[in-house]
Amino acid sequence: MDAIHIRGGNALFGETRIQGSKNAVLPVMAAALLIKDISIIENCPRISDVYHMQNLLTQIGCRVSRADRTLMIDARHVSQDKMSGESVTGMRSSIMLLGAMLGRFGEATLAYPGGCVIGKRPIDLHLNALRKMGVSIKEEEGAFTARAKQLCGAVITLPFASVGATENVILAAVNARGVTVLKNAAKEPEITALCRFLQKAGAVIEGVGGSVLIIQGGSALHGVQFAVPADRIVAGTYLFSVLGTGGHIFLKDAPVSQMKGMLKTAVEMGAEVTASREGLSVLAGPVKKTVPYIKTDVFPGFPTDMQSPLMAVLAKASGTSIIEETIFENRFRIVEELVKMGADIKTDENRAVITGVTKLYGCEVTARELRGGAGLVIAGCMAEGETIVRNRHFIERGYEDICRDYQNLGVNIVTG
């Protein structure tokens, strides 16, 4: 129950399609709240974080319906009731509704958000940026209320290019009075997706894709049809899997232009990659080269979400590699589990030193967060014998059907 069983040790061969992006669809769903009309969101992944966001939107009166991977959000008749319960506390992206609720109602009460257990994950950057737009914040135990009589455009410089804070400022700014200039904005492709969605709905945003965004508030927004881009992190997960096992796979619809940081690393480790309009072909031999030193970074650097999958592969590379985690603390929770499988990994604060071993051995391991869970599935594909990864629900937050995808690539893998 709540587990994944993998019989590892074989090379990967085959083709799988890459689902829509989790980190892109969630802010886009929040943005639909700003539009007093019907938004149609295509290529929406069937993952638990999306279902939670559907619940949150339903709680405030949106009518949300789904046909296969197309989501219809009707936000014409919403109300400002307090949102509470599991949906808010269970998912960090509920914080994404803060900017959208302020934009729609001028007020929002939210519980402090949950999400992956990878460090403290404060929201000070979100709150400080919104204060500059005229928002006052009242904190209570475990919750806070944000209020603005009139949201006003402002010049805001983020001390760190936080993805979530950038998204919240954008969401608040499109309905604010006047112009917002956001400096040191995050440049992740998911921010671009959010801006494109809002532009399609009538918002005026300049500088999309760059670190300075200029948002003209107050445009009338109308219903929109939008396709969510493919998930670069899911594509990266399978890219690193084939590096781990060797083989030849095709990742249909992989968003290659968003994957430069990870492709560079994969090629250094010995992968041959060929990009086309249809997707990404990856060929990898049985031997993996090490990465002498790599640090996670904001886009277009090596993504923190790919750190655990990379670590799993390096556990069997020929030599010693060093990973430095610069985005989140406490993102080495996979180490203990990989060591159980025979890996040689030592950590010192935000650095991990990985000395490659010749074999990993299947055993029972426990996922403690989403991407760490994916890393353990990769390790299971690389290991001899059976690996059981417990806490499948963490993985289901971001992967539509990880077993189906790996089965397409020839892996002996089932839920159980």
Per the listing, tokens 């506390």 go with 89
Would you call 397 helix, strand, or coil by DSSP? coil
Q: Taking CB under 6 A as the rule, does residue 190 contact ligand UD1?
A: yes
- Largest interatomic CA distance in the chain: 63
Per the listing, tokens 């599935």 go with 377
Those residues whose C-beta lies under 8 Å from the C-beta of residue 378, and which sit 6 or more positions away, are 237, 240, 241, 244, 309, 312, 313
Q: Taking CB under 6 A as the rule, does residue 139 contact ligand UD1?
A: no
Number of H helices, E strands in the chain: 14, 23
Instruction: Please list the helix, strand and coil fractions of the chain in percent, rounded to the nearest 5, in that order.
Output: 35, 25, 40
DSSP state letter for 285: -
Q: What are the E-state strand segments in 20-131?
A: 38-42, 63-67, 70-74, 107-111
Q: Taking CB under 6 A as the rule, does residue 87 contact ligand UD1?
A: no
Q: Taking CB under 6 A as the rule, does residue 21 contact ligand UD1?
A: no
Considering only 46, 63, 121, 340, the residue that binds ligand UD1 (CB under 6 A) is 121
Query: Which window, 56-64, 122-130, 200-208, 361-369, contacts ligand UD1 (CB under 6 A)?
Result: 122-130
Question: Which residues are annotated as catalytic?
Answer: 116
Would you say 63 or 351 has its CB closer to ligand UD1?
Answer: 351
Binding residues among 315-334 for ligand UD1 as defined by CB under 6 A: 327-328
Smallest gap from Cβ 301 to ligand UD1, in A, equals 10
Backbone angles phi, psi at 37, to 5 degrees: -170, -170
Considering only 65, 81, 122, 225, the residue that binds ligand UD1 (CB under 6 A) is 122
Query: Which window, 33-41, 55-63, 116-124, 272-280, contacts ligand UD1 (CB under 6 A)?
Result: 116-124
DSSP state letter for 362: -
Site string for ligand UD1, 272-311 (x = CB under 6 A): --------------------------------xx------
Q: Taking CB under 6 A as the rule, does residue 203 contact ligand UD1?
A: no
Which one, of 279, 328, 281, 321, lies nearest residue 303 by Cα? 328
Would you say 124 or 344 has its CB closer to ligand UD1?
Answer: 124
Q: Taking CB under 6 A as the rule, does residue 53 contact ligand UD1?
A: no
Q: Taking CB under 6 A as the rule, does residue 400 contact ligand UD1?
A: no
Would you say 169 or 327 has its CB closer to ligand UD1?
Answer: 327
Q: ∠200-188-373 over CA atoms, to 5°?
A: 115
**Where does this chain bind ligand UD1 (CB under 6 A)?**
23, 26, 92-93, 119-126, 160, 162-165, 186, 188, 190, 304-305, 327-328
